[in-house]
Amino acid sequence: MTIVSTASEEARAHLVRSMTDTGALTSPGWTDAFRGVPREAFVPSFQVRHGDQIDTLTAQDLGFHTAVYQDTSLITRWDACGTAVSSSSEPSLMARMLEAFTVTDTDRVLEVGTGTGYNTALLCHRLGEDQVVSIDIDPELTTTARRSLASVGYVPDLVTGDGTLGVGDRAPYGGILATCGVHRIPVEWVRQVRPGGTIVTNIGTGIVRLSVGAESATGGFLPDPAAFMIARPTPEQVAHRAASYTALVINGTGRESRIDLPDARDTRGFYQDLMEGCALEVAMAQYDVLSITLTAGDTDVYGLVHPDTGSWARIIPAGKSTADVVVGGPRDLWTERATLTARWIAAGRPGPGAYTLTVEPDGAHTLQREEPTTTSWRL
């Protein structure tokens, strides 16, 4: 069993108080789970990003327990290209998702994205290990998580496989909680949750809570933007890295134009909106487009890339309200992104909480926003 130090208990208690004070934790069941599960058992070593700097900590380092119980994501695994593919997520975000995961004490639940096993342990503490099924694509992660969970006394049903397919032979579930991002809600999840059950996951730049009906599922988003690492179809998959397309964005030749910015009153803010993808509707419509921000001398260069088609766009500010744009490939990524972003700005920059999502039996997604006027998109 894991030996829990006084430093760990004090740091954990402080984190729980902080999450309670901010409203991330509201129910006794999940509060007890965060009090009872030692996070350090699942992250014996990790990395924390501070801007461009990455710090590595292990249990032997001074301040380890303080760092473990910071309300931040702890990176534990990288792919071959240096992209983070597994982490222990920000505890307050985990808490908000768990609070939205309104299942009963007798429900069997499926967690998609075992990762370190920390969230799995919270589910086990709250619901009982016999009620928890968890799946991850990476056999090394499930092996390590199984060992970590056993060290704190939990033996849930861990499965190695593609979580986007669910785990059909253990269904039906009272709910599915995914600690990874998806571009679309898999219809298999909807089919494997009983009517009245709940699906909570990251899609686009928001966390959606869906209530499952007889065939479809519908629900709203939590108020604040959030994004997880996207689910991988295989453990060997290397994520697209924006840096590998830098040369294309800087040196590519294509169709040139000078354009007026849709939001000339706040040029830099518009570029941030354009590139950071904070608009839920933009992120869901252009989920397959990478954003790149570069600095060449005193000039900011913005790039968009669609790896599957080789389409790209280069945007260079040419004054307060204009920019020089070059696009290449079959998709005009600039026009797509600018149109979507301008519409979102005109609506008052609504956050994720302004939207609802419906997933139909055929997998079609309908995103809807009520303010300032009812607008919907079938994706």
Alpha carbon 177 to its chain's center? 12
d(CA 233, CA 7): 39
**For residue 188, what are its two tokens?**
């298999």
Element of type H or E holding 10: helix 6-22
Secondary structure of residue 169 in the 3-state scheme: helix
Closest CA to 160 of 141, 179, 178: 141
d(CA 162, CA 178): 12
Asked if 261 contacts 202 with a C-beta cutoff of 8 angstroms, the reply is no
**For residue 322, what are its two tokens?**
């204009």
**For residue 154, what are its two tokens?**
């939990």
**For residue 257, what are its two tokens?**
């134009």
d(CA 34, CA 36): 5
For the chain, how long is the longest CA-to-CA vector? 65
Give catalytic residue positions: 89
Asked if 366 contacts 357 with a C-beta cutoff of 8 angstroms, the reply is yes
- To which residue do tokens 């069997």 refer? 108
C-alpha dihedral, 158 to 73 to 65 to 16, nearest 10°: -90
